[in-house]
Structure 1
């Protein structure tokens, strides 16, 4: 097992980088060039990873002395680098991927956001209104559903499994609120283009505007739930801290990350009919690795909890939000900053993918 993990430490990030590089080149990279890129990325990423390890005090590189936690941290760092480095390499080596091209796409995105944002907001308002139009309790369902789930999981995890987190009902409600936004947005993104067929076949608009509209709906529900959390904090007499000012920053990065993942899933949802089923299964697995009902750092043996919490962004955002609003602790803003950069890259990659392929969506659906 350790031998396989050791081999994966050095090879997997390089393979991942090669896939990302080929993705940016629209699959036009030849087999010979892929081999060259794989070797180059493997050398670059391992050199960076080893240098960071050396700066953190790891002076040698003996396989027999490597702990399992070190191997896991090394491969996790390699995967993060494997996602970021290809963008830099493409800017330096590929003629069709230039800084000018990024600027051009950036300007086009800004123009389209300004032009179509009013529609996204109007569509979100219409969806929210239609959702509760025939309901007796109206918008109260947006509060009742997460509140009832909070009560259920508080009983199950608080009393049956003896969870020890402070302010446990608010702890659970925060996790359910953030996870609900993420899971609904990602699940909904897969069928966004197909469900918007009546619109996109008649008028042009960037297809990610449809995703933004759905995320505004889910985001509004999340903010309503955070209003309930504020009331619960008063009831439970949660001491406030200056660190609560980081909460909006965490939510903003969380929104951008969700949009980045959702825009990529939206693209592949056009071509893969079964992607919705696969997404549901993956999200179900991810829910239990994100600390919705418990603290990852406390439930996993050291140092695996720290690794999962650092390299699973959803778990990191949840934990950071709880630190900021419940426990008066400074969130790990360094890690948040790294994931903010990755989130922006994901969003740029998703928008780039949509712009490059949106003309073919109508033909497929």
Structure 2
């Protein structure tokens, strides 16, 4: 097992980088070039990972002395590099990808968001109104559902499994609120283009605007739930600290990460009919690894809790939010900065994919 993990430490980041490189080039790479790129990425990712290890005090590189946690951190760092490094390499190896091209896409994205933002907001308002138009309790359902789930999980985990986190009902409600925004958006992104075919077959608009509209709907519900959290903090007499001011920054990074993942899932949802089933299973697994009901860093044996929390962005966002609003602790700005950068890369990748393929969406749906 350790031998397989050791081999994966060096091989997986290179393979992952080649996949991202091929994604940027729409698969237009020969086998010989893929092999050359694999060797290149193998050298680059491992050189950077080894340099980071050296700067953090790991002076030698003997396999017999490597701990399991070191191997996991090494391969996780390599995968993160696999997201970023291909963008830089493509600038030097691919004529079709240039800095000017990135700038043009950036300007086009800014113009389109400015032009169609009014529609995204109007559509979100219409969806929120239609959602509660025929119900007796109206918008109260946006509070009742997460509140009931909070009560259930508080009883199960707080009393049956005797969870020891302070302010446990608010702890649970915060996790449910943030996870609900992420999971609903990712699940909904898969059918976004298909559900919006009546619009996109008649009027042109960037397809990620439909995703933004859906995110505004889920984001509004999340903010309503955070209003309940504020009231609960008063009831439970949670001491306030200056770090609560960082909560909007955490939500902004969560929004950006969700948009990046959602825009990519939206693209593949057009072509893969079974993607919704696969995504549901993956999200179910991810929920239990994200600490919705417990603190990941405390429940996993050391040092695996910190590893899971560092390399699972949703777990990191939840933990950072709880530290800010409940425990008066500064969030891990270093890790948040890294995931904010990765979120920007994912968003750029998703927008690039949508712009490159949106003309074919109409034909498929």
Mark yes or no: TM-score above 0.5.
Answer: yes
Q: How far has the Cα of 1:94 moved from its partner?
A: 1.5
Name the structure 2 match of 1:326: 326
- Do structure 1's residue 5 and structure 2's residue 10 form an aligned pair? no
- Matches of 2:93 and 2:195, distance apart in 1: 39
Name the structure 2 match of 1:97: 97
* Cα distance per residue 1:47-89 (max 9 Å; x no partner): 1101110111101000000000100011011110111111111
Name which of structure 1's ranges 86-95 and 151-160 shifts more when overlaid on structure 2: 86-95
Name the structure 1 match of 2:360: 360
Q: How far has the Cα of 1:195 moved from its partner?
A: 0.4
* Cα distance per residue 1:305-344 (max 9 Å; x no partner): 0000000000000000001111000000010001000000
- Do structure 1's residue 181 and structure 2's residue 216 form an aligned pair? no
- Do structure 1's residue 283 and structure 2's residue 283 form an aligned pair? yes
Name the structure 1 match of 2:80: 80
Name the structure 2 match of 1:265: 265
* Cα distance per residue 1:142-193 (max 9 Å; x no partner): 0000000000000000011111000000000000000000000000000000
* Cα distance per residue 1:248-274 (max 9 Å; x no partner): 000001000000000000000000000
Q: How far has the Cα of 1:119 moved from its partner?
A: 0.4
Q: How far has the Cα of 1:93 moved from its partner?
A: 2.1
- Matches of 1:257 and 1:275, distance apart in 2: 20
- Matches of 1:245 and 1:175, distance apart in 2: 18
Name the structure 2 match of 1:67: 67
- Do structure 1's residue 24 and structure 2's residue 47 form an aligned pair? no
Name the structure 1 match of 2:201: 201
- Do structure 1's residue 56 and structure 2's residue 26 form an aligned pair? no
Q: How far has the Cα of 1:245 moved from its partner?
A: 1.1
- Matches of 1:246 and 1:97, distance apart in 2: 37
- Matches of 1:84 and 1:347, distance apart in 2: 12
- Matches of 2:74 and 2:159, distance apart in 1: 38
- Do structure 1's residue 316 and structure 2's residue 316 form an aligned pair? yes
- Matches of 1:306 and 1:97, distance apart in 2: 37
- Matches of 2:38 and 2:93, distance apart in 1: 15
- Matches of 1:92 and 1:255, distance apart in 2: 31
- Matches of 2:334 and 2:92, distance apart in 1: 27
Structure 1 stretches of 4+ moved >4 Å = none
Q: Secondary structure at the match of 1:237?
A: coil
Taking structure 2 as the reference length, what is the TM-score of the superposition? 1.00
Name which of structure 1's ranges 48-57 and 84-93 shifts more when overlaid on structure 2: 84-93
Q: How far has the Cα of 1:95 moved from its partner?
A: 1.2
Matches within 5 A, 1:203-222: 203-222=203-222
Name the structure 2 match of 1:256: 256
Q: How far has the Cα of 1:92 moved from its partner?
A: 2.3
Name the structure 2 match of 1:163: 163
- Do structure 1's residue 46 and structure 2's residue 46 form an aligned pair? yes
Q: How far has the Cα of 1:197 moved from its partner?
A: 0.7
* Cα distance per residue 1:16-71 (max 9 Å; x no partner): 00000011011001100000000110111101101110111101000000000100
- Matches of 1:72 and 1:344, distance apart in 2: 24
Aligned residues: 365
Specify every segment of 5 or more residues in structure 1 that has no aligned partner in the other structure, as ranges: none
- Matches of 2:92 and 2:290, distance apart in 1: 36
Taking structure 1 as the reference length, what is the TM-score of the superposition? 1.00
Q: Secondary structure at the match of 1:164?
A: coil
Q: Secondary structure at the match of 2:58?
A: coil
Name the structure 1 match of 2:303: 303
Two-structure CA RMSD over aligned residues (Å): 0.5
- Matches of 2:313 and 2:98, distance apart in 1: 29
Specify every segment of 5 or more residues in structure 2 that has no aligned partner in the other structure, as ranges: none
Q: Secondary structure at the match of 2:331?
A: coil
- Matches of 2:308 and 2:262, distance apart in 1: 22
Matches within 5 A, 1:140-155: 140-155=140-155
Q: Secondary structure at the match of 1:139?
A: helix
